[in-house]
Structure 1
Amino acid sequence: MPPNKKYLTRSPVQRFAKISAGFLGGYFVTESFYMALAAWLNTGNVLMTLRFAGAILWVTLMILAFLAKNGWKIWGIYLVATLVFYAFIYFGNPVNPPA
Structure 2
Amino acid sequence: MPANPKYLSSNWQRFAKISAGFLGGYFITITSHMALSYWVNHVNLIITSSFTSFILWVILMIIAFLAKNGWKIWGIYLILSLLFLIIIYFSKIHHPIPF
TM beyond 0.5: yes
- Shift in CA distance, 45/5, structure 1 to aligned 2, threshold 3 Å: farther
Cross-structure match for 1:42: 41
Contact 1:40 1:93 in 2 (8 A): no
Give per-residue Cα distances to partners, 1:18-60, cap 9 Å, x unaligned. 0000000000000000000012221111111210011000000
Cross-structure match for 1:28: 27
Displacement, 1:94?
2.4
- Shift in CA distance, 19/41, structure 1 to aligned 2, threshold 3 Å: same
Provide the rounded CA distance (Å) in 1 between the counterparts of 2:8 and 2:21.
15
Provide the rounded CA distance (Å) in 1 between the counterparts of 2:24 and 2:38.
21
Cross-structure match for 2:18: 19
2:92 maps to amino acid = N
Provide the rounded CA distance (Å) in 1 between the counterparts of 2:39 and 2:75.
25
Cross-structure match for 1:77: 76
Gaps of 5+ in 2: none
**C-alpha RMSD over aligned residues:** 1.9
Provide the rounded CA distance (Å) in 2 between the counterparts of 1:91 and 1:83.
12
Q: How does 1:48-87 map to 2 (within 5 A)?
A: 48-87=47-86
Displacement, 1:66?
0.2
Q: Give the total of aligned pairs.
A: 98
- Shift in CA distance, 16/95, structure 1 to aligned 2, threshold 3 Å: same
- Shift in CA distance, 49/3, structure 1 to aligned 2, threshold 3 Å: farther
1:63 maps to amino acid = I
Q: Following superposition, which runs of at least 4 residues in structure 1 exceed 2 angstroms of deviation?
A: 2-10
2:14 maps to amino acid = R
